[in-house]
């Protein structure tokens, strides 16, 4: 039953992802495209674009969109529930436990090791999405311009997204 498979797939993604939505992207890609074949790479990239533009965390938005695309409204509900279940359970447990142990050198050392790993996972996700999205010189120019605007100006990301959409309309129509 696809709905149960969606829940279990996103439960696994939520359980083994440390660091947030962007860290989950390689796991979502592996599980959804490679393991189950529920989406193609272009469909996945399109869903990521929509998930990024809509309010809310990208992991939850992605789970909802992928679940809906794969299993309708029940699929959206169970994929979303699957991805948030581990975080919800771990957050409740961690809040009660870590407060007592956060000053422990072992806990601090573990978090010091996790931080760079999270950055590497985010960079890996960016490379994966970039390979699927930057397909020609025009898309490379748009990507470079967006990077410069986001890193070196104070423009709001929503404005940058709108400018990107307008650029796409002007350059690709």
Residue 108: pLDDT band (50, 70, 90) is confident
Query: DSSP letter at 43?
Result: H
- Mean pLDDT check: name the lowest of 16-25, 28-37, 42-51, 164-173: 16-25
Q: What is the largest CA-CA distance in the chain?
A: 59
Compute and round to an integer the Cα radius of gyration of the chain.
18
pLDDT in tens, 80-104: 999 889 888 878 887 787 777 777 8
Where do the structural domains in the chain lie, given as residue ranges?
A: 2-104
- Give this prediction's pTM: 0.59
Task: Name the one residue in this structure whose structure tokens are 């965390």.
Answer: 57
pLDDT of residue 19: 65
Three-state DSSP class for residue 65: helix
Spell out where 70-116 has E strands.
Answer: none
Residue 152: alpha-carbon gap to chain centroid: 24
pLDDT in tens, 41-54: 888 888 888 888 88
């Amino acid at each position: 039953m696809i709905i149960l498979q969606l829940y279990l797939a996103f439960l696994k993604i939520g359980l083994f992802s440390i660091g947030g939505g962007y860290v989950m992207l390689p796991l979502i890609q592996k599980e959804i495209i490679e393991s189950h074949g529920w989406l193609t790479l272009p469909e996945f990239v399109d869903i990521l674009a929509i998930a990024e533009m809509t309010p809310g965390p990208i992991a939850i938005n992605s789970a909802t969109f992928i679940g809906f695309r794969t299993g309708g409204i029940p699929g959206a509900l169970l994929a979303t529930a699957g991805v948030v279940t581990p975080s919800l359970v771990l957050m409740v447990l961690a809040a009660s436990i870590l407060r007592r142990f956060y000053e422990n050198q072992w806990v601090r050392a573990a978090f010091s090791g996790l931080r760079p790993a999270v950055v590497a996972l985010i960079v890996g996700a960016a490379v994966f999405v970039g390979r699927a999205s930057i397909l020609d010189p025009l898309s490379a120019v748009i990507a470079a311009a967006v990077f410069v605007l986001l890193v070196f100006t104070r423009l709001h990301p929503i404005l940058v997204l709108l400018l990107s959409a307008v650029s796409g309309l002007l350059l690709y129509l």
